[in-house]
Each structure stands twice: as C-alpha cells, then as structure tokens.
Structure 1
Amino acid sequence: MRIDIITVLPELMRSPFEASIMKRAIQKGLVEVHFHNLRDYTMNKQRSVDDYQFGGGAGMVMMVQPIDDCISKLKSERNYDEIIYMTPDGETLNQKMANSISMYENIMILCGHYKGVDQRVRDMHITREISIGDYVLSGGEIGAIVFCDAIIRLIPGVLSDETSALTDSFQDNLLSPPIYTRPAEYKGLKVPEVLLSGNFGKIEKWREEMAYEHTKNRRPDLLENEE
C-alpha cells in the first residue's frame, strides 16, 4: 500500500511512522508513506495556505489553489482508490471501514486546518470524508495518524501473528473478552480456571460468552446494530 499525506505540518506527522508497528510495516516494504508539504504548492512569498472566508465570520479557510495543485500532481502520477479528507463532519471511522481500506493499493489523505478547506476542493477531488470522532482537533494530522495506524496493522505481514487482528475488539461487533498472563494468581486474584484447563473448546466458548457480556455491559449499542 502507498499512502500520500498532504499536510502543512509534515514534521508533526513523521514521528509516529518512525516507531512501532507502522515503522515495521515500512521497513518490510509492505507500506510506503509519503508526506507532501502544502506550502510547497503556494504562489505567494509568505507561503500562506489560508485566507479569510467569503461572507465574513471567524476563522481562516485553506485555499483551493495549493491543495488543487498538489492533489492534481499526485493524481497525474498514479490512480488512487480513495482521496480522503480528515474532517469532523465525515463518516466516523470504525473497524469495518478500516478492514476495507486496508486492502487498497493507493490512498491519499488531506489533513485540514483552521475552519477547514475551500468547499471546491471537496467537490473536485475528495472521494471520502472521515472523522475519528465527534470532536474538533486543531488539525487533521492527529486524525490521519490514528486512521493510518488502524489500517496499516491489518495489512498481511505487518503483525507477527496475523490472526491477532481478527480477534480484536469490534471485528465481530463485539468487544474483546478479559485477557490474562502469568502469574496465575496475584494478590489473591486468580485467573479463571477454564483458561488453565487446556480444553480449547471450553476456552473458546468462555471467550465468546465473556465477549458478549463485556459488550452488553459496556457497548450495548453494538449488539443493537446486529439485530
């Protein structure tokens, strides 16, 4: 997979991709991540990417010209499965969406700032708008990092054990069951006997039951979506 990220803060973006799972994916050649500084596409001495909004009102708006030039250049070089704009009014990121997008070959991500981007950018280029939650951040970079982590870890070969991602929360609209490791008893708290039994049929049944109960108690809305 190739990911092209358009941002005014490339220095903010790089660090997460130089550590942990995302770094491993890049080193293995499973993912390419390229950052494009929007200020390199400006046509003024100040390299400014924003201006006052028509009609008045508080807040600046990212101008159409630099974004259009950057996106158009990238589109001339390859085809993209999606051109994504990270925005609070987009569809909310979930596991099903991450599963689907993780299978794409090329995606482009535009990180917004200020009050957002000129609507004409969205009309001309954006194919999908994604939010990581019902709140506003100072820019789309943090949202893009979250989004990239969610999809990159699903690419075959990234995780040491590929089956691990299949048992994550939300994969079956259920939260994960309780998990334990050594020691079997700590300060009077014991690991459930079934997990020590070696009976994998019973263990799997217990995990399914606990996942359902955990979801019922914490996120009953997920079970409603299944009905």
Structure 2
Amino acid sequence: MNVTIVTAFPGFFRDFLSESMIGRAIRNGFIRVDVVDLRDFGTGNYRQVDDYAFGGGGGMVLLPDVLEKALDTVEAGKGPAYVVCPSPQGDLLSQEIVETLAARDHVVIICGHYEGLDERFIEKRVDREISMGDFVLTGGEIPAMAVIDAMARLVPGVIGKESAVVEDSFFRGMLDHPHYTRPSEWDGVPAPDVLLSGHAAEIENWRRSEAAARTLARRPELISKANIRQYLPKGVYAALVHSPVLDRKGEKTTAAVTGLDLSDIGRSCRTYGLDRFLVTTPLASQRDLVKTMAAHWTGGTGGDVNPDRKEAFGTIKIFPSLDRATEWVTRREKEPPLIIGTTARRREGGFHWLEAKRRILREKKPVLFVFGTGSGLHEEVLGRCHIVLQPLSGGFGDYNHLSVRTAVGVVLDRFFGWR
C-alpha cells in the first residue's frame, strides 16, 4: 500500500501516522504514507495556495496551478498515481471502493479545504471524488484518514488476525455480530451463555445468526450484496427437474437429460457452496445415463483429466421425481425444506429475489431451489413451491429465453454471491 497525501495542513497527520495500527504498519513496512505540504508549491512570499471564488459568495478555492505542480512533483518521484479527492459531490465511500483503491499501486489523496478545488483541475487530474456521507466537513484531511485506515486493514500483516478483517461489518456484506468481554455479568446484564461455553461450533453459529438478525433489523438493504450461505444453519440444494415440464407449445412433457446441463449446473452448485445438486427424471434410462456420466467424471479417467469437473459431478444425486428428492432432503435435514421455484413466465404472487433472500434468513430452514428444463416448470411443480421467484429480466425488450444453465448461475449468484 503506497499512499501520498497532498494537504495544506500536514500537521493533521502527525499523530495519525505514528499511533496505533497505522503507526505500527508504517514502522513494520507494510504500508507507506507520505505527506506533501501543498504550501511548498504556493505562489509569492506568502506561499499562496488559494484565492477567492469567481462569482462571489465568499469562500476560497485551491489554485489549479499550485495543485498541478504538487501532483507533478509527486508523480515524478513515485510514478503515476490514482488521484482521489474527498468531496461532498463524490461517490459515497463503501467497502467496494476501499478494495478498489487498495488494489492500486499508488494512490494520491488531495485534501481540499475551504470551498474545495478548482473544477478545472478536478476534471483534468482527479480520477475519483469520494464522499463520507451527506454532511460537510471543513476539509479533506479527516476523510483522507478514514480512507487510509480502511485501506490499511486489507494489507496482510496490518491486522493481527486476518479473520478479524473478514468478519468485520460490510466485508462479507453483513453487519458484524455483537461483542462482549469481562466481566461476564455487568450492571446486572450477563453475557450470552453460549460465548462462555467454550464450544467453538456453537459460538460460530450464534455469531452468524446474530449478524444476520442485526442486518435484517438495522440495514436490510445490505442483504442484496451479502452471500447468505454461511448464515444459514441448514443445507441448501438445487434440483433440476425434467418432468413435468413444458414444451414450446406450453404442453406438459418430459425433457431429456443433457451432459452440458449437468456439467455447468454442477459447477455452479459447487462454486456457490450448495450441498448437493439433485437431478430428477422419471425415465430409468435417463437416470442410468446420468449415473454413467457421473461415474466417468468422478471415478473414471475423466476425473483425472479434469479434477474441477470431478468436483462438480460429485455433487449430483439422482431421483425419479421431485417428491422423492424432497423426501431425501427432509430426512437428511430432519425438517422439510423451503422450496423455491423458478420460471421465465409472469405468475401471480411471484417473489422478488431480495424478498425471498430475506425470508430464507428469517425462517432458517433448509432450502431447495427448483429449476425446470424444456420450456420451464409445469404448474404441478410451481404450485407446490413455497416461493416462486419473479422471472429474470433485463435489456429493453420482452425477450426472455435464458438457458437453464444461465438461469441457475444468475439465481445462485444473487443469493450466494459475495458482493
């Protein structure tokens, strides 16, 4: 991490860069932060760095030629930089922006003051303006500290335990869980018994449950970016149904198994952490075909050639019907699953995927996603689902004919993708 701060008030940063986590990280060589005094590039005997704003109204604006001289000097010494300016007009700072900045070789943060920077310099030299929120500060120095602190946490070695970074609020998309310390009872309020039990698995489950509950209660909008897989206490499954499904005329039919569906959906299930990929077809010959393909990739020479495909096919389990698959999940999880159906057709009562995601977190049941081959699931299947998702849509027209392989990837990413 290599950051340069350009500021007219370098004294702001003396303690910040020498104390606590940031100070240790600099001394240990994990990060480098240089502070450049803008007044070194000022004009005249008074090293002027600002002037009155055109148009009146009060306030001073930092001079574009002074800013450019400072930036040119920095880049001449340390190479090209990604230039950031804290500003109320900028993008709202988020964990995603922090990670993007931390991936840069050299970041320059130019701290505005008074009325800010001349707009011509911003348009010419600033790559990104960043806002701390819907409020105004006296200058860019405090935002610069916040950006540097957030970036530093992502540098290996800066935080003692990397797991502390991963578990922080927003890193996984969720808020953090509550924390407690000694004494075990304070002011008549005890710490949760589970945290004093010494049972690591139960403590981990409690923390994830509390994080999910807190996020749902306080910041439900964050759920859209969160991978909720690890916050679910029960298993998650996907079923690919070949009967009853619809043909192109909308009639009930049985579709054929294809190796491409099995391979691609198996890989999606493995990527997004599902427990098993359930394939259902009433035709014995088709079930035998699935077994033959799975055996080739898991126990035959195919697995040696392509270990990744071996893992994908290893998630497959075959059933003659969705009912049998659901019974198997129920026995395995010791309770019936929440069944989520998918369709490309508009249907009354369809759930927005975000509402379904929130319901999954609240109910804490095993989950079974059901996808249809052919032209989609028959109403016999959709009618027994607890939730039917609204169709995937995009673009500007009414064309909506994704392959089931693509649909599975999109749906699973919405629920179990990581930001």
Name the CA distance, whole Å, in 1 between partners of 2:186 and 2:35: 47
- SS of alignment partner, residue 170 of structure 2: coil
8 A Cα contact 1:80 1:108, kept in partner: no
- Name the aligned partner's letter for residue 144 of structure 2: A
- SS of alignment partner, residue 183 of structure 2: coil
8 A Cα contact 2:75 2:81, kept in partner: no
- What is the CA-CA distance between 1:154 and the residue it aligns to? 1.9
Shifted more, 169-178 versus 21-30: the winner is 169-178
Name the CA distance, whole Å, in 2 between partners of 1:61 and 1:36: 19
Name the CA distance, whole Å, in 2 between partners of 1:219 and 1:80: 38
Aligned residues, how many? 227
Give the structure with higher Rg (CA). 2
Shifted more, 159-168 versus 194-203: the winner is 194-203
- What is the CA-CA distance between 1:2 and the residue it aligns to? 1.7
- What is the CA-CA distance between 1:210 and the residue it aligns to? 0.5
8 A Cα contact 1:85 1:129, kept in partner: yes
- Please list every run of 5 or more consecutive structure 1 residues that lacks an aligned counterpart in the other structure: none
- Name the aligned partner's letter for residue 87 of structure 1: S
- The residue number in structure 2 matching 1:165 is 165
1:124 aligns with 2:128: no
Shifted more, 1-10 versus 212-221: the winner is 212-221
Name the CA distance, whole Å, in 2 between partners of 1:15 and 1:151: 18
Change (3 A) 1:185 1:54: closer
1:98 aligns with 2:98: yes
Give TM-score, length-normalised by structure 1: 0.93
Name the CA distance, whole Å, in 2 between partners of 1:47 and 1:147: 28
- Name the aligned partner's letter for residue 70 of structure 1: A
1:87 aligns with 2:103: no
Cα offsets for 1:78-113 (capped at 9, x unmatched) = 334511111111111112222332233211110001
Name the CA distance, whole Å, in 2 between partners of 1:15 and 1:60: 27
- What is the CA-CA distance between 1:187 and the residue it aligns to? 4.1
- What is the CA-CA distance between 1:9 and the residue it aligns to? 0.2
Residue identity over aligned pairs, in percent, reads: 38
1:16 aligns with 2:5: no
Change (3 A) 1:193 1:68: same
- The residue number in structure 1 matching 2:115 is 115
Give TM-score, length-normalised by structure 2: 0.52
- Name the aligned partner's letter for residue 198 of structure 1: G
Name the CA distance, whole Å, in 2 between partners of 1:115 and 1:63: 11
8 A Cα contact 1:42 1:65, kept in partner: no
- What is the CA-CA distance between 1:208 and the residue it aligns to? 1.1
- Please list every run of 5 or more consecutive structure 2 residues that lacks an aligned counterpart in the other structure: 227-353, 355-419
- SS of alignment partner, residue 17 of structure 2: helix
- The residue number in structure 2 matching 1:50 is 50
- Name the aligned partner's letter for residue 124 of structure 1: K
- Name the aligned partner's letter for residue 106 of structure 1: H
8 A Cα contact 1:82 1:107, kept in partner: yes
Shifted more, 181-190 versus 83-92: the winner is 181-190
Name the CA distance, whole Å, in 2 between partners of 1:91 and 1:36: 24
- The residue number in structure 1 matching 2:38 is 38
- SS of alignment partner, residue 45 of structure 1: coil
8 A Cα contact 1:132 1:147, kept in partner: no
- SS of alignment partner, residue 33 of structure 1: strand
Runs of 4+ in 1 over 4 A off after TM superposition: none
- SS of alignment partner, residue 16 of structure 1: coil
8 A Cα contact 1:62 1:116, kept in partner: yes
- Name the aligned partner's letter for residue 129 of structure 1: E
- The residue number in structure 1 matching 2:176 is 176
1:216 aligns with 2:216: yes
Aligned 1:180-191 pairs, distance under 5 A: 180-191=180-191
Cα offsets for 1:143-199 (capped at 9, x unmatched) = 111111111122110111121111111112211111122333334322222223333
- The residue number in structure 2 matching 1:196 is 196
8 A Cα contact 2:2 2:31, kept in partner: yes
Shifted more, 39-48 versus 97-106: the winner is 97-106
Name the CA distance, whole Å, in 1 between partners of 2:59 and 2:178: 46
- Name the aligned partner's letter for residue 41 of structure 1: F
C-alpha RMSD of the superposition? 1.7
- The residue number in structure 1 matching 2:28 is 28
- Name the aligned partner's letter for residue 102 of structure 2: S
- SS of alignment partner, residue 69 of structure 2: helix
- The residue number in structure 1 matching 2:145 is 145
- Name the aligned partner's letter for residue 200 of structure 1: A
- SS of alignment partner, residue 3 of structure 2: strand
- The residue number in structure 2 matching 1:3 is 3
Name the CA distance, whole Å, in 2 between partners of 1:105 and 1:29: 15
Name the CA distance, whole Å, in 2 between partners of 1:225 and 1:21: 29
8 A Cα contact 1:5 1:34, kept in partner: yes
- What is the CA-CA distance between 1:132 and the residue it aligns to? 1.3
